[in-house]
Amino acid sequence: MEELDLRDIIDIITKRIWIIAAITIFALLMGIIFSVFILDDIYASSTTLIVRENRKDGGSVQLSDINLARNLVDTYSVIIKSDRVLEKVVTELRSDLSLGQLRNKISVRAEGNTEIIRISVEDINPETARDIANSVARVFINEIQELMDMDNVQIIDEAREQSSPVKPNVKLNIAISLILGLMLGIGLAFIIELLDKTIKEPDFIEKQLGLPVLGVIPEIE
């Protein structure tokens, strides 16, 4: 394969600039259309819970109690998205969502190396996202008391309705579309150039055949 130097690369890009520009503009327009007119706005709402340490006889908190609470965070994060909890959330909200659909809307994570759990919900309706997050928190606390006979979880902040969507990220989508359009346009320009074996310049003869050019017939209109 013939090696290309910087001047060759610049010549190829300059020669096929209209292809690169057309593909880039098309990709950019598609990114704008999908982000603004096709993709639904997604709103997020979250509530935070804290797993408290068990204090015995009103004494001070021990390190073992803190470690136990932090270990319970992982267990509780699994229980939050269990069928047992989600079934009661669906019943409480009188929702027509399936358990799988509801589970996909919910994300649960521990806030760093702490005893705090954050329950986040995404939905196209900000009120629905808020209601689901608060319902999951309430049902989970009740189920923990019944399942594990433990009353060591409290709500720190209830979920609130958010006015600004978290998705789609229009600026990010436009930037990605622009980059992809440039990459596709430049790639196509090089492919066309590599497949084009027609003789256009005297230098082509010297590079491909290794023969000197004795003369050139000028183009006559």
Asked whether residue 152 is assigned to any structural domain, the reply reads yes
Asked whether residue 113 is assigned to any structural domain, the reply reads yes
Beta carbons within 10 angstroms of residue 215's beta carbon: 5
pTM of the predicted protein model: 0.71
**Per-residue pLDDT, 56:** 47
Asked whether residue 215 is assigned to any structural domain, the reply reads no
List, in order, residues 6 or more apart from 18 with CB less than 8 Å away.
none
Residues 61, 149: one domain?
yes
**The 153-157 sheet, strands edge to edge:** 106-110, 116-123, 43-51, 153-157
Residues 148, 79: one domain?
yes
Residues 34, 77: one domain?
no
- The pair of structure tokens assigned to 59 is 């004494």
Alpha-carbon torsion (40, 110, 46, 97), positive or negative: positive
**Per-residue pLDDT, 7:** 79
Asked whether residue 219 is assigned to any structural domain, the reply reads no
Residues 148, 200: one domain?
no
Asked whether residue 143 is assigned to any structural domain, the reply reads yes
Residues 61, 136: one domain?
yes
Query: Do 62 and 103 touch, CB atoms closer than 8 A?
Result: no
The total of structural domains in the chain comes to 2
Which domain, by its residues, includes 193? Answer: 6-38+169-209
**CA atoms within 13 A of residue 93's CA, in its CB half-sphere:** 24
**Per-residue pLDDT, 67:** 64
Residues 52, 106: one domain?
yes
Residues 112, 178: one domain?
no
Residues 69, 129: one domain?
yes
Residues 90, 187: one domain?
no
Asked whether residue 220 is assigned to any structural domain, the reply reads no
Encode the chain (221 residues) as per-residue pLDDT tens digits: 456 678 778 888 888 899 999 999 999 999 999 988 898 999 999 999 988 765 444 555 454 555 666 677 888 889 999 999 999 999 999 999 999 999 999 999 988 778 889 999 999 999 999 999 999 999 999 998 888 887 888 999 999 999 999 998 989 999 999 999 999 999 999 898 888 767 666 676 666 667 777 777 777 77
**Per-residue pLDDT, 44:** 95
CATH of the domain at 123: 3.30.70.1130
Residues 30, 111: one domain?
no
Helices H / strands E in the chain, number of each: 8, 4
List, in order, residues 6 or more apart from 51 with CB less than 8 Å away.
69, 70, 72, 73, 76, 115, 116, 117, 152, 153
Residues 56, 114: one domain?
yes
